[in-house]
Amino acid sequence: MPGRKTAIITGSTSGIGLAIAKAFAAERWNVVVNSFTDAPQDHAVADIMAEEHAAEVAYIQADMSKAADCRTLVAKAAETFGSVDVLVNNAGIQHVAPAEEFPPQMWDAIIAINLTSAFHTTAVAIPLMKKEGWGRIINIASAHGLVASPFKAAYVSAKHGVLGLTKTVALEVATSGITCNAICPGYVLTPLVEAQIPDQMKAHDMDRETVIRDVMLRKQPTKQFITVEQVAATTLFLCSDAAAQINGTHISVDGGWTAE
């Protein structure tokens, strides 16, 4: 809708991405919801969100493991709404295994979706934001962008890379009215994290409750999962006037994990 800013959130039909999309819709932004599946329920997510918040919400299918899809997603969003003002690179997958047993195809997929996709979407979004003289690029990284954990070689590598990309882009766009920052959540109980629990149980030979307490939340001092709403609120803050001079850095939402 003319006069409203537009936000793209990749990987946004569930989990953190969905919460972020809902937060923007609640503020009456134009919102682009994305997944790779293009199923009826994906379109329903956008339709329900639009109705609940009286916002313009479009679903655009794109496989974030494919460079062309990443770039086309941003182009289609601009074509649909006339601008791309906020890009939230959120899409991600995970696999847990020792390095010597890590499937090479999973390494490639995790690097492509968690890191390389952010490069492609950002590269297309920057000229559009420069044209408007304003933009916000927000990369959903992780506490694992700052510290490592065993059995997550690809994920940790990708998220460290996301922080490097964030800093580099921030320096390049600093005089253009654009900022680029990252959010580093600790453990958020999303479908992605839920799916890790059986793998972690196997890797550590523990039951579910013990894995959650002694592995997942072991380094999270509050001993509580981060909520998707808390990550979404941080994303909105980075788009506010109060955050205009926050650039090239990260905000940790991790219950104190990386304070040690």
Catalytic residues: 155
Type of residue numbered 205: D
Query: Is-contact 92 139, C-beta < 8 A?
Result: no
Identify the burial level of 250 via C-beta atoms within 10 angstroms of its C-beta, where 0-12 means exposed, 13-18 middle and 19 or more buried: buried
C-alpha to C-alpha distance for 239 and 178, rounded to whole angstroms: 10
Identify the burial level of 113 via C-beta atoms within 10 angstroms of its C-beta, where 0-12 means exposed, 13-18 middle and 19 or more buried: buried
First to last CA, the chain: 46
Query: Is-contact 114 93, C-beta < 8 A?
Result: yes
